[in-house]
Structures are given as C-alpha cells and as structure tokens.
Amino acid sequence: MVKKIVCILFILLCLTSGISADRPKVGLVLAGGGAKGFAHIGVLKVLEDNGIHVDYIAGTSMGGIVGALSAYGYSAREIEKVVKEIDWASLFIDGRERDYMSYSNKTADAKYFMTVGFDRHGMKNAPGVISGQKIQNKFYELVGPCSNSDNFDDLPTPFRCVATDILTGKEVVLKDGSLADAMRSTMSIPGIFTPVEKGEYLLVDGGVVNNLPVDVMKDMGADIIIAVNLSQNEVSRDTLRGPMLIANQMLNLFIYDQQQEQLKMADIVISPDLGGKFDSTSYFSFTEIEQCGEQAARAMLPAVKAAVGPENISNIPKIGVMRKDPAVIDRIEVSEHLESYERSVFLKKLGGIKGKPLDIDDLNHIVQDFHSSGQYESIRYYVDQIDGENVLSMEVEPSKKGPHFFRLGLFYDMNTNVHENYIFNVLLGLEFNNLLVEGDTFENEVELFTGIAAKTSYFIPFLDYYFIRPEVKFYYLPDQEENFGIGFDGDVDAERTEMRVASSLSLGTFNRMFGEISVGFMNEYIYYDYEITNFYEDDFKGIVNSVFIKSRMDNINSVVLPERGNFLELMLKYSDRHMGSEDTYLRGKVSFWQYFQFMERISLGGKVFAGMDFGTDLPFYDMEWFTYVNAFPGYTNYELQAPNIVAGVLDFKLKLCDLGLGSTKSRVLLTFRGGYASLYEDFNLFQGKKTYDIYGFGIGLGLSNSKIPIWLEGAWNDDRRFTLHISAGNKF
C-alpha cells in the first residue's frame, strides 16, 4: 500500500511539473579552458532562467569544476558568487603564509629568499610549481566533507569529469570517491600543479586527452547532449605577443583538432565568442567572459528548447546544495607511511576535532597550518563510516624537496646622510634534518661582503617539547663607518672594527608554531676597536663568559613590514669576573610588537623596545639593542646605543594594491611611523638622570612579500635631519 502511494505521488509530481517519466534525458558537457571556463556560468544562468532541465553533467578542467559545483546543487548565481569571491591570485600563488609556518620555518623565512632541497641522491624538485593545497582546501570548503566511497551518481545531478593518468597518458573518467579530489585532479595543469595520486593513477588535467567529453556523456545515458565549446582555431596576429601566448595557441590548435569528433556527437553546441581577447589565464576578466557565455546561450536558446522538447522545460527550481549534517568524528587516522613522530604531531593537533561535529573551516586551518610548514607536499582528508564509526582519514604526502636544504639570503640597506657606505650582505645556508634523531636540525650559515660571519648550530629535540642546542659563531666587521650624532653638538663620524668568536650551549623548551625559551652558557672572545673622531677612542680585547636566558615568540606576518600578529623577544645576559670574564654586568632587553588589521587594507600597530643595564657598568661593546630593519624612524639602529633606553613606535599602514610576483603574492603598502625614545645613564628609569629624548617621523612605501621585501622611507628626527632609508631583503 505504501509503495502504491509513493508511486502515485511521484506520477502526480511529474504531471504537475510538466516533466514526464519517460522524457528524453538531457546531458550538459562543459569544456576545459582555464579562465575561459567562466563562460560556463553564463550558459548555466540562461538554462536555469529558462527552465531547461539537465539530467547529467560532465566536464574537464574548469568545465569540471563548474560542472561539479552545479551537480552538487549550487545554482548558477551561487556559483557566480563563489567564483567572484575567490582570490584567484592567492589560490594560484602557492607561497606560504608566514602566519601558518612553524617557528623554525619562520626563522628561516626572516633570513632567506630562496631554498633548494636535496637528499643523498641529489637535488630534489617538486613535481609541480604549485602544490595546489589552497585550491584543494577551497574545494573541501565548497563540497566537503568528502568520502572515499561517494558515488557521483548520488549527487543532485549525476556527474563525471575527466583527468589524465600521466604515467600512461590514458584518459581516466572520475565517477566516484572524493568530489573535491576529482575537481583538483581534472584541473591539474602538468608541470604547473603537482599531480594527484588516486590508487594506481597519477592524475593531471584531462584537457590533453578529452577536453570536451561528449562520449563520456553518451555513456552516462543522455539522449540529448548540449556541449559548451571554448576552443577556437583562429586568432589575430596582434594577440600572439610573446612565446607564452604562441605556446598557448599551439595547445589550443591541438585541442581544437582533438575536439572535432566530440562535437559531431553533440546535439547542440554553444560556442561563446571569446574573440581572441581572452585566454586561459584571464582570471581578472570574469564579468566579460561570463557575459560571452550568456550571449552565446541566448543566441542558441530556440535551438536548445526545440531539441530538449517541452517535457524538459519547467518552472521547478534547481535542487539546492545537499549538505550533510556534520559528522561527529569518532576516530582519526593518519597515513601509516609517516614517521611515528610526525604521526603523533598530527594526531595531537587534530585531537580537538575528535568527539565533535566536524567543522570544515577549522580542519582546513589545521591542514594549511601543516602544509605551510614546508614539510608536506599535499594533505587530503576523508570522512568515512567504518565499523559504525565516523573516521577522519588524513592522507599526507611528505615534501619532495627535502629533507636537506641549501638556502640563499640577500640584504641591502642604506641611510643617506648617515652611512658613508651602504650595507650589502649575502647569506648562504646549509641545513641538514633528521640526521641522528627525528626532528633534529644541523644548520650552517656563512655571511659575506659587508663583514664576514659564520654560524654552526645543532638543534636536538627530546621529550616532544624540549631541546639542546650547541652553537659556534664567528663575526668580523672591519672599518665600519657611521654617523653618530646623538648627544653631540652636530653630527660626527664614528668608525669601528669588531670581531667575535663565540660558543654556547643552551637548553630549552619550544612550541613548534610560536617560539622557544632557553637558558645557556656562552664563551666569547671579543675584539672591538671603536673611535668617534675628535672625541674619544676606546677598544676592548678579551674574554666574556656569560649565562643567558632567551625567549622569542613569533606570530607576526612579516618581520620587515608587519600588518598583523604579535612578536615578543626577551633576553637576560649576566657576565661575571668570577667566571673568567673581563667585566661584570647584567644586560636585559625586551621587544614587543602588536599589530591589528582592519577592513583588509588598514593595519595599525606599535612596537615597544627597552634595553637596560640594571645598575651595572654595561660595556660599550655590548650596548647594541636593536637588530631589525630601521627600528626607529630617523635614526639608525647603531645610533640608539645607550646603557638604558625605552622606545616606542606607532605604525600605520595602508594597502594600496596586491601584486602577483613569481610564486608569491606581494602587497604595496603606504607606511606612516612616529617614534619617541628616552635614553638614561642609569637603571632608575623615569627617576634617574635622563640623558636626552629623541623622536622621529617617517613616511614610506613598501613592497611586502616573503621573498625580498623592499622598503623606502623618508624620515625626519628631532635634530631636523632628513634621512632617506632604503632596504631590500630580510636582515640576518
């Protein structure tokens, strides 16, 4: 009886909707074409507005992505909204966000702009310029959570997309598994995006083998096929400007020829007139390309209606997105091929997800966190029911670039009217990982040109959160000429020659994301020859033994041009003659930065610096408090030497625009800074004898990126001195 009622209701539904049970099935095939695929959204809008019912969807590359969203239940206007909101430059630029980096990688990021991985077999190159993790996460956000057992026939509209097995060159039709993985596979341009592993296949973009999969649609059972073709074989001479455009046209010609047989099998072909004005990379021409799709679909609308018949035209709205209720995660599994230590780190970080309804945004944040460490090529996840439990499975592929690294850093700095000579340094780094124990790092650095420096350190972790670090440093800076005007009547020249050889051993605890705290012992041999012309000379040659406490917490998005996050650095150093040192003194230093971002374009923050001698006789060779780029407007770091100092800088930044440069996304910033500092002879701050106050104001223009940040600032100080500061790169 119940079955009869269900059948009657179904028949009535069909009759009232104007769609008969035995109507011909309509299939929609969407071609690949990169940004040209935005035209598909315009076609979908016209079909939906005119009630054209679609039973099946198939696509390749961008056609596969748009088709997958439509099949999942998104309306054309919802897809339009999603695509407009996507920051395509960010998704296709795979540079790591510093916010997500591990602390060790943040430290490297603050010094180096180039890294090359290698192992015992030689140099390691990634299988693609872009790992595609950001795009993968976006797909999870749109169609997740996905399961390995999903069947694309169970979507609101049955769906197929095409990829290529790069191992055999054969076509692979994706019809089950993770929909997000299928979307990522079908658009993986060979050599640009890393391939996607699926069982025995290594999948890349399907455009090479079947850019317009009409035959796949026939196999799905469609009676009437509407194909949206984006290929053209004719362009004007004016559009072929440069080797990349010529290579792109060669690929278009190949795809055009390959598609001719597919086009013959379609009943209706919609060909947006892109007029040679747009190519596969025209991601910033969304509106114009979408309009081309709409115009082409409207022109073909009478033919479409005649082909599908009145029984496939109705006013029934498109079925909405069939999102499942978030599953409560009972168990978490991580790839078995990872080292046990890495697996434990994943399980611990994911522990907060267990026992709760899965939040895709939170999980994507954790995934991006791990990926940005640089240790992993890709991280994919699935939610499946296994033995009655909801299991979150993490498939993690280690980075193909390591485990060892050669690094290169550059730094240029000049303050006009202050330095007689500019500073230009090159930093070479050689890093070995996992040599003796899991997680250890043997780091070697050499700094050349303006001065010579070298450092060797060995970071040895134990008990998950603790480490031992032996370290040896050498530093030599000959005949450095400076202008030193603070506290004197007029600017005077200073010259120094400095050499240090230091060895230390520290013990500490660390957090992999934010920072570390350590205590240790240091032995230094210092040679320091210091002269201010016409005033005095001073030098030092001897041993300094000291114990120290250091702490550094780093959650800032950029060391040179910060816009958000916070940074804290603390240091206490005690030297005593009873330890064999030449001097007895206690030195302390603190730097705290706090930055907030508003409306994506404005950031406001401040820095507080303090250095003090705690009432001891701090020697001149240990008064250098500030090591960051242009810490105080209008003064160089070297000019801010004093036994005791308290300084504050208020910093305002306005983002003018974004630029995509190479593999990173850069921001052009207008900067305004104001600073005030008080310098004291003794430690009784605010009560003791104040030597003098200084202040400065600066306005500048910066190009902020993770490779080579560039900053130009004009500044005025209390002595009415104008200084033009130029820097490029991160200070070592």
Give me Rg for the CA atoms of the chain. Answer: 32
Task: State residue 18's pLDDT score.
Answer: 44
Task: State residue 206's pLDDT score.
Answer: 85
Residue-wise DSSP of 220-260:
HT-SEEEEE----S---GGG--SHHHHHHHHHHHHHHHHHH
pLDDT at residue 21 greater than cutoff 70: no
Residue 632: pLDDT band (50, 70, 90) is: very high
Q: Give the span between the Cα atoms of 45 and 39, in whole angstroms.
A: 10
The answer to whether the pTM exceeds 0.85 is: no
Residue 664: pLDDT band (50, 70, 90) is: low
Residue 97: pLDDT band (50, 70, 90) is: low
Task: State residue 115's pLDDT score.
Answer: 84
Task: State residue 100's pLDDT score.
Answer: 64
The phi and psi torsions of 328 (rounded to 5 degrees) equal -80, 120
pLDDT at residue 422 greater than cutoff 90: no
Residue 40: pLDDT band (50, 70, 90) is: very high
pLDDT digits (tens, 9 = 90+) for 570-589: 999 999 998 888 889 999 99
Q: Is 496 helix (H, G, I), strand (E, B) or coil?
A: strand
Q: Give the span between the Cα atoms of 17 and 36, in whole angstroms.
A: 34
Task: State residue 1's pLDDT score.
Answer: 42
8 A C-beta contact, residue 162 and residue 262: no
Residue-wise DSSP of 35-94:
GGGGHHHHHHHHHHHTTB---EEEEETHHHHHHHHHHHT--HHHHHHHHHHS-HHHHT--
pLDDT digits (tens, 9 = 90+) for 434-475: 888 878 899 999 999 888 999 999 999 998 789 999 999 999
pLDDT digits (tens, 9 = 90+) for 638-660: 788 788 899 999 999 999 988 76
Task: State residue 317's pLDDT score.
Answer: 62
Q: Which amino acid is at 414?
A: M
Q: Give the span between the Cα atoms of 215 and 225, in whole angstroms.
A: 10
pLDDT digits (tens, 9 = 90+) for 605-625: 999 999 999 988 888 788 888
- H/E run at residue 160: strand 159-165
User: 719 or 501: whose pLDDT is higher?
Assistant: 501
User: 20 or 629: whose pLDDT is higher?
Assistant: 629
